[in-house]
Structure 1
Amino acid sequence: PDSMVDHDHIIPNDGSASIVEGTYAQFVVGTPGAGKSTYCAGMSEFMQVLKRKCIVVNLDPANDHLSYDCAVDIRDLIRLEDVMSMPDDATHDAVALGPNGALLYCMEYLEQNIDWLKDALLPYKGQWILFDCAGQVELYTSHSSMKNIFRTISDEWQWRTACVHLVDIAHCLDAAKFISALLLCLTAIVHLELPHINVLSKVDQLKQLGRLPLGLQFYTEVLDLEHLLELLHNDSRIGRLESLNRAICQLIEEFSMVKFTPLKIENKRSVFNVMQQIDRAT
C-alpha cells in the first residue's frame, strides 16, 4: 500500500504522543539494507499522523533513491560520485577514491561545513528531525566525523537526541551473524556515546525467512548467550573458534547494554512502541 500507517485505526493519543517542545533528533544508523530509509519514511508519516511535526534529513551522499520527502539533503552540499571523480590538485588526475573512501571524505566535509547543515535546519527548529545515515559501519564504530557531527547537534545545538540502530531480523537466523550484530551495536554505543535504541527491523518478514532457532524473545532480550555458543559448537565451519566466540559473548554479557525492540514498520502498534522507547531515551 502507498501509506504505511492505517489512518482510520490510529492509536489514541495518550499524552506521550503530543507535540513536544524543543528540537528532537533521531540518528538512524545500521548496515546497508537494514531498512533505514524505510524506517524514516514510516516513522515520519506516523509522527505526522500524531500531530508531531517531523522532517527527514538524508545524510547518505550515495542515496539516489529516497523513499520519502527529503527536507534537507547532503547531496546539495556534496555528492559521492563527484568526490570519486575529483582531480588531484597536483596532477589533475582522478584521485581514484573508492566508494568507502569517498564516503568518509563526504562525512569529513560535512563535519567541516556543519554550519551548512545548521542553516538548512533552522526553519525546522522545534520539530522532530530524522537523520537517515549512510550504512558503512566504520562511520559509527571507529571514524570520528559522524561522532563529532552528532556531538555538535547534541551538545552545542542542545537538541534532544538518540541513536536508532537497525539490525535486520535475518541476522537472528545465524548465530555467528547475530553475535557479530551484538558486537557491532555495543561498539557503536561505546563509540558514539549517545542514548541508543537498538531495533530488530523487518520482523514482518519472519514468515518468509523461517523459524528463529531460539524464539524472538531470546533475541530481543539478549538472554543467556550460552545457547548461541551451543549452536556454533554444532557448526563444523567455525567450531574451532569456540574460545573466541565465548570471549566475545562474555564481553557482551558483561556490558549488558544491548537489547532490541522488534519492529514491523507497517504495524502501527509496533511503530508506536519504538517511538515510546525513543521518547524515554530523549
Structure 2
Amino acid sequence: MGFAQLVIGPAGSGKSTYCSSLYQHCVAARRTVHIVNLDPAAEQFNYPVAMDIRELISLDDVTEELGLGPNGGLLYCMEHFEDNLDDWLADELENYLDDDYLIFDCPGQIELFSHVPALKNFVEHLKRKNFNVCAVYLLDSQFMTDVTKYISGCLASLSAMVQLELPHVNILSKMDLVPNKKDVNDYLNPEASVLLSELNQHMAPQFAKLNKALAELIDDFSMVNFIPLDLRKDSSIAYVLSYIDNCIQFGEDAEVKIRDFDPEEDV
C-alpha cells in the first residue's frame, strides 16, 4: 500500500514552500518522501522533483500553440493529464514501491479542486493503485483577518472536501508572518453563534438569514477546522506531518524492529 498527500489550496497559499519544508524535515528525520509536481506552470523548485507533469505537458507550450490564456491553458493541461492517467501516470507510478510516500504539489486554481473533475479522477486512479490519500488544504493565515474572509476560506475548503471525498486536513500557512496571532487563533475552532454574531455586525440586516445559513453550514460540517503551521518551528512541521500520517494510517502496519544485543562479557 502506498501513501500520498494531495497538497491543494489557492494560489499563493504556500503549497510549494510547504512541500519543500516537509521534504527537508523528512531528510533530517531520515525518512523518505517523494515530491511530485502537478503544476504545468511551475518554473523552479526548492526540492528534488520525483515526477513532473511538465514532462507530459506544460502551460507554456499550450499557450504558445493553442493561444489560450493562463486559466484556460491550465484547465487544458489538467484535462490532458486526466486523459493520460492510464498511460503516463501509470508508467511513472511503477517506479515506486508499495510503501512509498508521495506528496503531490498541485496548481492553485480553485476550480480544479472545487468542481472540475480532473483531480477527482486522479484521486480515484491513486485509490485503484492502492494508495491511501489525504487532501491537505492550505490557506494563507494572513487571509484570516476578519469573519467574512474566514467564511470564504471555509466554503472553498468545504467545496474541495465534498468534491474529492478524501480525508481532509486544513492548514493555516505562513503563521510566522502574522503580527497578532490572537486574531487568527479565534478562527481555529470557532463556534457558530460567534460567527453569526460577527457576520451580522459586518453585513447589512437583509443578509441575516443568509448569515445564519452560512454559520449553520460550517457548524454542521464540524470537520472544518484549521491547524496553524509555522515553518520556522520544526515541532510545528512534525505535528502537522504526524496528523496527516494518522489520517492515511501511515506506519500502522510497520513491523516492530527487534535488535539483537550481544551478551555482556564478564569483566
TM-score (norm 1): 0.82
Are residue 139 (structure 1) and residue 112 (structure 2) matched? Answer: yes
Residue 111 of structure 1: aligned partner: 82
Alpha carbons 1:31, 1:167 under 8 Å: kept: yes
- Structure 2 unaligned runs (5+)? 249-267
Question: 1:55-91: CA deviations, max 9, x gaps?
Answer: 11110001113222212111111011211222xxxxx
Residue 244 of structure 1: aligned partner: 210
Residue 83 of structure 1: aligned partner: 62
Of stretches 268-277 and 49-58 in structure 1, the one that deviates more from structure 2 is 49-58
Alpha carbons 1:186, 1:257 under 8 Å: kept: no
1:27-106 matched pairs, under 5 angstroms: 27-86=6-65, 95-106=66-77
Cα deviation for residue 130 of structure 1 reads 0.7
1:167-178 matched pairs, under 5 angstroms: 167-178=139-150
Question: 1:249-280: CA deviations, max 9, x gaps?
Answer: 21111122211111112311111111111111
Alpha carbons 1:173, 1:212 under 8 Å: kept: no
Match 1:276 to one of 238, 242, 252: 242
Of stretches 113-122 and 177-186 in structure 1, the one that deviates more from structure 2 is 113-122
Helix, strand or coil: the match of 2:17?
Answer: helix
Question: 1:87-146: CA deviations, max 9, x gaps?
Answer: xxxxxxxx4322111111111111111121222232232321110000011111100011
Are residue 262 (structure 1) and residue 228 (structure 2) matched? Answer: yes
Quote the RMSD (CA, aligned, Å).
Answer: 1.7
Instruction: State the distance in 1 between where 2:27 and 2:93 align.
Output: 18
Alpha carbons 2:5, 2:135 under 8 Å: kept: yes
Report sequence identity in percent: 39
Are residue 163 (structure 1) and residue 135 (structure 2) matched? Answer: yes
Instruction: State the distance in 2 between where 1:32 and 1:233 align.
Output: 29
Helix, strand or coil: the match of 2:231?
Answer: coil
Q: Which amino acid aligns with 2:209?
A: S
Q: Which amino acid aligns with 1:53?
A: T
Residue 151 of structure 1: aligned partner: 124
Cα deviation for residue 169 of structure 1 reads 0.6
Q: Which amino acid aligns with 1:166?
A: L
Alpha carbons 1:25, 1:159 under 8 Å: kept: yes
Question: 1:147-199: CA deviations, max 9, x gaps?
Answer: 00011102x10111111110111122121111010111111111100111111
Q: Which amino acid aligns with 2:22?
A: M
TM-score (norm 2): 0.86
Helix, strand or coil: the match of 2:202?
Answer: coil
Alpha carbons 2:139, 2:171 under 8 Å: kept: yes
Alpha carbons 1:166, 1:198 under 8 Å: kept: yes
Cα deviation for residue 45 of structure 1 reads 1.5
Alpha carbons 1:31, 1:136 under 8 Å: kept: yes
Of stretches 238-247 and 138-147 in structure 1, the one that deviates more from structure 2 is 238-247
Q: Which runs of 4+ in 1 moved over 4 A?
A: none
Helix, strand or coil: the match of 1:85?
Answer: helix
Instruction: State the distance in 2 between where 1:160 and 1:229 align.
Output: 36
Are residue 198 (structure 1) and residue 170 (structure 2) matched? Answer: yes
Alpha carbons 1:140, 1:188 under 8 Å: kept: yes
- Structure 1 unaligned runs (5+)? 1-21, 87-94
Instruction: State the distance in 1 between where 2:60 and 2:165 align.
Output: 31
- How many matched pairs? 246
Alpha carbons 2:144, 2:150 under 8 Å: kept: yes
Residue 187 of structure 2: aligned partner: 219
Instruction: State the distance in 1 between where 2:212 and 2:64 align.
Output: 45
